Structure 1
């Protein structure tokens, strides 16, 4: 039984309430400096993909929400991922505790969520409910300022080209191979590849680059632009979503060449900065590469897990 503070209305969060949800989620993103701004389409997709969705209302304002997503079929634990948060104007009012209790009442062997490292209140709350940190991730940024973009020469025998749709299927297969030794990475089907990578409206093919060994993809960097982030922050950011090199080509500067090409393309296109995310425990030397190119860590996220 979950006990809520007085004066709140608790009910399922519905598609008809997307506008209020967008306002709440973007206020949370701003307060937590997460950069995770959302559009109507994002929230509609999350609601459609969720198993349970809850809204906490004070009069006509959505002050907190929670979404319990369908279990991850790729996990041996049938892990359930949850999203949730409390509007910054309504924090420290006893809402976060019962919201998390509601989530924990869902039947699942394990529940996971990401928490901003700067959100100390959330860290304390989740750990008081049995969640433990299991993985750390960094968000890095590089401004386009007076600092020159470092060189990224292409070694002899390789070709650097902008993304070409003719290589899309080869790129999907290369991506699956490159990331097979990364934590919880699973092969991407053609449908998933289109949905989450090169078929997205935010994908910028003209700003993405491939490094070829003949016709074989050796390395690549894919770039994205999220208009909602620009609307919320006033800063135009080119996001390097995927950076990878096939194992047999690692150590030759190919990822550096591809990412440097993306950086230069972003500068020429008028972006204010570039950003990317990195697993702190990545099996590659990615973090060192990004720092060498001028990226700096600006925020961290900690994945927490609760075994039910």
Structure 2
């Protein structure tokens, strides 16, 4: 989420809501996101949100396009797919068009579209976004940390797997269903990750960064019980602990740490100098594991919501 100051008068704008973007609209939105990231040093729209710009309509996803005259200057995405939680949103205003109240206008439109039951991400936790959340009457309820550690000269011991557990890499098309099931079980408490579908997985497999050689699966016999999916951001020189999951019932035996170590050793072998990951600040057990592996907090994403 990026912000504006209090709205100024005499600004002519319109907001269009649609269930799908044309290719031209998609490119225009991506251009705004890219320019905002260049200025802010942080993506205002998440990977999932950017993937949902393409491919036609998606259940529960709406796109809000803010124009001044014929020019697109702002964008918001509203996703209402969680059966329990309020709809979630992200928004961005082109840096050249800030301080004109466009962020506030998009926020008000999101509140109206969600029936004033809304969650909004402020990636990077910038002060302007915190101010906009306050103006919209939203309160902070979630903190997502990005943690990093150097990979240069990494010295991690050979991972110790629980007895009877083996690890191999992901085979696209063969392991999809099993992975989706374990991911859903491992992240049943996590609305973004746990709700991934075959379409979401296919979107990621189609991305240039996808590499099954960095997607590790842990089995006990023929049963998939855990995984570590890594990701390389080549342009930024970053290797990501993209997601680590362990099936309920297989937790507590050191599998998560072993899988994390496996992935970090793989990323180090790719020659990327730094590793990153995201973890909820209130997940004390996971934060502690990552801190023991040498990770420290780099920046923080904040999520705000309407009072419930």
TM-score range, shorter chain: 0.7 to 0.9
1:190: how far off? Answer: 5.9
Partner SS state of residue 42, structure 2: coil
Instruction: Name which of 20, 38, 43 aligns with 1:30.
Output: 38
Match of 1:286 in 2: 286
Provide the C-alpha distance between the structure 1 equivalents of 2:88 and 2:56, rounded to a whole number of angstroms.
Answer: 13
Provide the C-alpha distance between the structure 1 equivalents of 2:78 and 2:182, rounded to a whole number of angstroms.
Answer: 32
1:221: how far off? Answer: 0.5
Aligned partners of 1:21 and 1:43 also within 8 Å? no
Provide the C-alpha distance between the structure 2 equivalents of 1:261 and 1:27, rounded to a whole number of angstroms.
Answer: 36
1:257: how far off? Answer: 1.4
Match of 2:180 in 1: 172
Match of 2:3 in 1: none
Partner SS state of residue 286, structure 1: helix
Partner SS state of residue 74, structure 1: coil
Aligned partners of 2:152 and 2:268 also within 8 Å? no
- TM, length-normalised to structure 1: 0.79
The alignment's C-alpha RMSD in Å is 3.5
Provide the C-alpha distance between the structure 1 equivalents of 2:54 and 2:126, rounded to a whole number of angstroms.
Answer: 26
Match of 1:6 in 2: 10
Instruction: Name which of 29, 32, 42 aligns with 2:51.
Output: 42
Against the structure 1 CA distance between its residues 191 and 289, is the aligned structure 2 distance closer, same or farther, given a 3 Å change threshold? Answer: same
Aligned partners of 2:146 and 2:298 also within 8 Å? yes
1:82: how far off? Answer: 2.3
1:40: how far off? Answer: 12
Aligned partners of 2:39 and 2:95 also within 8 Å? yes
The aligned length equals 295
Partner SS state of residue 121, structure 1: helix
Partner SS state of residue 25, structure 2: helix
- TM, length-normalised to structure 2: 0.79
1:156: how far off? Answer: 3.9
Instruction: Name which of 64, 83, 87 aligns with 1:80.
Output: 87
Match of 1:55 in 2: 66
Tell me whether 1:141 sits opposite 2:142 in the alignment: no
1:51: how far off? Answer: 2.9
Provide the C-alpha distance between the structure 2 equivalents of 1:46 and 1:82, rounded to a whole number of angstroms.
Answer: 19
Tell me whether 1:19 sits opposite 2:27 in the alignment: yes
Aligned partners of 1:25 and 1:87 also within 8 Å? yes
Aligned partners of 1:47 and 1:67 also within 8 Å? no
Provide the C-alpha distance between the structure 1 equivalents of 2:193 and 2:278, rounded to a whole number of angstroms.
Answer: 18
